[in-house]
Homo-oligomer: A and B are copies of this chain.
Amino acid sequence: MIVGKTPSWRIVLKYTGRPVAVHVLVATAVVIAYSEFELTFLAVPALPVTVLAATVGILLTFRNNSAYDRWWEARTLWGSLVNTSRTFSRQVLTFLPGSLSNETSAVSSVPRAASRLLRTAVETSPHGGTLGVSDGAVRDRFGKARGAFIAPHAPTSEAALGVLQAPREGRADIPVLFESITADARELVYAQIGFVNALRCHLRRQDPFPSIQPFFHPSVVEALREEQNVPTAIVVWMSARLRRVLSEVPGVESMLRLTILNNSLTDLMNILGACERIKNTPIPRQYDVLPHAMVRAYLVLLPLGVVSDLGLLTPFVTAVIAFLFIAMDAVGRDVETPFENSYSDIPMTALCRTIEINLRQMLGETELPPPLQPEDGLLY
Contact = CB atoms under 8 A, between A and B. Distances in A.
A310 B290 CA distance: 25
Nearest to A83: B273
A61 interface: yes
Nearest to A143: B367
A158 B209 CA distance: 12
A309 B186 CA distance: 75
**A interface, over-half SS:** helix
Interface residues of A, number: 177
A211 B153 CA distance: 10
- The complex is assembled from copies of this chain, and their number is 5
Contacts of A26: none
A152 interface: yes
A152 B47 CA distance: 59
Contacts of A277: 75-76, 79, 82
A289 B145 contact: no
A294 interface: yes
Interface string A164-195: 11000000000000011001101100100000
B259 A165 contact: no
B217 A161 contact: yes
10 contacts: A44-B313, A110-B244, A121-B220, A125-B244, A132-B179, A158-B213, A164-B217, A164-B218, A232-B362, A284-B344
